[in-house]
A and B are shown apart, each in its own frame.
Chain A
Amino acid sequence: NAGVTQTPKFQVLKTGQSMTLQCAQDMNHEYMSWYRQDPGMGLRLIHYSVGAGITDQGEVPNGYNVSRSTTEDFPLRLLSAAPSQTSVYFCASSPGLANTGELFFGEGSRLTVL
């Protein structure tokens, strides 16, 4: 029962470096999304995808890129990391955009940008 798997769990970057946070789900879910969690801000939606080949922006998309080449994978790319991107990132999936709203979350990836 893997569910939603995120890698890496921890990462430290220097300002300007790039990296990709990986997310994979084995539930054949159509909908996948990325959130970031910051103190006092709750979880904010970065990008989401309603199926392979389809992505859209959420509330805080600047500085992040996504792609969805397969149903299973939804990587989040930081092209040039900034200290403001220090956060905990959560990937989530559900059977569909218009489904019950019950998201299945990964365990999170803690990113520190120095």
Chain B
Amino acid sequence: DQQVKQNSPSLSVQEGRISILNCDYTNSMFDYFLWYKKYPAEGPTFLISISSIKDKNEDGRFTVFLNKSAKHLSLHIVPSQPGDSAVYFCAASEPGTASKLTFGTGTRLQVTL
């Protein structure tokens, strides 16, 4: 029972273009959402987050959008850079347990020259 789903295992984008990574969730109790980035042979690192009271959060080249009615969030990277090539995990948590994260399966992003 996958409560957080990333239906695209991989994505290839040209340098300078926009990367859009998608995530769907089924648990309506989730109220906090995060994106993590993972390079090979390293642990995941926090990228950006959004609370369910917002529908958008921006941090430099990274923007996360939340559509609560559709139970869908997306991560936009503009412009994409080769160093963004990594696996991106979507994660979510319930109220009062922000650190107890449920992760998606990940999307491998490759930014080509």
Contact = CB atoms under 8 A, between A and B. Distances in A.
B41 interface: yes
Instruction: Using C-beta atoms within 8 Å of the partner chain, give the interface range for chain B.
Output: 20 to 34
B14 to A, nearest CB: 27
A44 B101 contact: no
Contacts, number: 73
A71 interface: no
A106 B96 CA distance: 24
Contacts of B97: 97-98
A99 interface: yes
A60 B43 CA distance: 19
Interface stretch (B68-76, B77-85, B102-110): B102-110
A42 B42 contact: no
A27 interface: no
B21 to A, nearest CB: 14
Nearest to B4: A42
Contacts of A43: 44, 89, 101, 103
Interface of A: 4, 31, 33, 35, 40-45, 48, 58-59, 90, 92, 94, 96-108
List 7 tightest A-B contacts by C-beta distance, closest first: A105-B43, A101-B98, A42-B105, A43-B103, A94-B99, A102-B46, A42-B103
